[in-house]
């Protein structure tokens, strides 16, 4: 079979058939070829059944970094961007797909960071393969998910936090929604989500469901112009697979893009002065249950959920450039402990809760009280 795919023809069905034939033959796609294939999907020219076949063919053969880059490029070209936010804005977002069903960690981290004075553009979605995604829990908390760019800029100026719901900014993703829901499995789209932040952030803490994807995620973001990225995957001692956040249940593997170089290291909870806790200690539920837990966290509740958020938030504070945790590519445990204390004070002094209350008070007039 030829290495080249034809230019996009009028008959997109023929194009996609050629892509599927290539994948069935266990051949990989170049970044350019993947960009064309995902572009056809995003333009609504492919049935849900064929999209599902495409995603499963990629998964069975094993997705490649070039295919991830092509998918990200295609979606970025079609997104409703939110430009001109503060240049130091960060995102904290996970891929999902780890099947642990935990409480919403990165959403809580966003409130903590904003309370600490960091500009946060948190990208997220409703649950696809879990019970409660970021958009689900924010809806239960009464936080408006705005789509209007001027309103988002005003929200950022007032509260240092905005929440970018994927359907508002990636309408093209709707063409893949049915196939993803039917599969109920992590696919390449899980990896794409954190890499297509509509605000174009260049600093990110990205939770990844598999350690094998840490370096590819960092490499793709580096090729697309990111400045500082930590891709993290928790490795619980239970051995049931990776978790898409920094964990107290074992080591967290990190690939960190810093000043054009990538450093690899592991973070153990004791390095942050935090106690071990199994993943079951932060087991989540539906959106209402997770929202209640997040609200209690912001009001000062202690326990494994708080400590997990503190670990992730301290490392995100480094990604934001507010503290320095690395010395010659090695993690400084004392600096990490100090970072945990810094973000803990944001919870203890009510600053993180104030961000939530400010966002809820600023809801659109037609949104009901919760």
Q: List, as residue ranges, the binding site for Mg(2+).
A: 106, 244-245
Strand partners, 228: 203
Q: Point out the annotated binding site.
A: 94, 97-98, 102, 104-107, 122-130, 134, 180, 244-245
Q: Count other Cβ atoms within 10 Å, centred on residue 239.
A: 7
Of 56, 51, 49, residue with least CA distance to 40: 51
First to last CA, the chain: 58
Q: Point out the annotated binding site for 5-phospho-alpha-D-ribose 1-diphosphate.
A: 94, 97-98, 102, 104-107, 122-130, 134
Q: Point out the annotated binding site for anthranilate.
A: 94, 125, 180
Per-residue HEC secondary structure of the chain comes to CCCCCCCCCCCHHHHHHHHHHHHHCCCCCCHHHHHHHHHHHHCCCCCHHHHHHHHHHHHHHCCCHHHHHHHHHHHHHHCCCCCCCCCCCEEEEECCCCCCCECCHHHHHHHHHHHCCCCEEEEECCCCCCCCCHHHHHHHHCCCCCCCHHHHHHHHHHHCEEEEEHHHHCHHHHHHHHHHHHHCCCCHHHHHHHHCCCCCCCEEEEECCCHHHHHHHHHHHHHCCCCEEEEEEECCCCCCCCECCCCCCCCEEEEEEECCEEEEEEECHHHHCCCCCCHHHHECCCHHHHHHHHHHHHCCCCCHHHHHHHHHHHHHHHHCCCCCCEECCEECHHHHHHHHHHHHHHHHCCHHHHHHHHHHHCCCCCCCCC
Contact 19, 54 (CB under 8 A): yes
């Amino acid at each position: 079979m030829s290495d080249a795919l034809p230019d996009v023809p009028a008959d997109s069905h023929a194009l996609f058939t050629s892509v599927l034939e290539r994948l069935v033959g266990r051949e990989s796609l170049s970044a350019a070829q993947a960009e064309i294939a995902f572009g056809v999907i995003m333009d609504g020219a492919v049935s849900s059944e064929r999209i599902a076949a495409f995603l499963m063919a990629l998964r069975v053969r094993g997705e490649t970094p070039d295919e991830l880059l092509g998918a990200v490029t295609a979606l970025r070209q079609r997104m409703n961007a939110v430009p001109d936010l503060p240049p130091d804005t960060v995102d904290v977002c996970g891929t999902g797909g780890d099947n642990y069903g935990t409480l919403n960690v990165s959403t809580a981290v966003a409130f903590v960071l904003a309370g600490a004075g960091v500009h946060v553009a948190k990208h997220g979605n409703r649950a696809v393969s879990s019970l409660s995604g970021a958009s689900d829990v924010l809806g239960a908390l009464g936080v408006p998910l705005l789509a209007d760019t001027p309103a988002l800029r005003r929200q950022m100026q007032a509260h240092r936090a905005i929440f970018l719901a994927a359907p508002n900014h990636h309408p093209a993703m709707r063409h893949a929604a049915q196939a993803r829901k039917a599969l109920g499995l992590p696919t390449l789209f899980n990896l794409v989500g954190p890499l297509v932040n509509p605000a174009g952030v260049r600093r990110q803490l990205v939770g990844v469901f598999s350690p094998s994807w840490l370096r590819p995620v960092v490499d793709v973001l580096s090729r697309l112009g990111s400045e500082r990225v930590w891709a993290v995957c928790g490795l619980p001692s239970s051995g049931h697979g990776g978790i898409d956040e920094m964990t107290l249940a074992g080591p967290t593997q990190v690939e960190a893009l810093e000043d054009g170089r990538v450093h690899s290291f592991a973070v153990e909870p004791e390095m942050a002065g935090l106690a071990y806790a199994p993943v079951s200690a932060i087991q989540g539920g539906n959106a209402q249950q997770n929202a209640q837990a997040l609200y209690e966290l912001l009001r000062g509740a202690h326990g494994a959920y708080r400590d997990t958020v503190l670990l992730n938030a301290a490392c995100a504070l480094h990604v934001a450039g507010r503290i320095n945790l690395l010395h010659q590519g090695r993690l400084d445990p004392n600096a990490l402990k100090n970072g945990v204390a810094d973000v803990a004070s944001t919870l203890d002094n009510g600053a993180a809760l104030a961000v939530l209350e400010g966002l809820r008070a600023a809801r659109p007039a037609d949104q009901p009280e919760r």
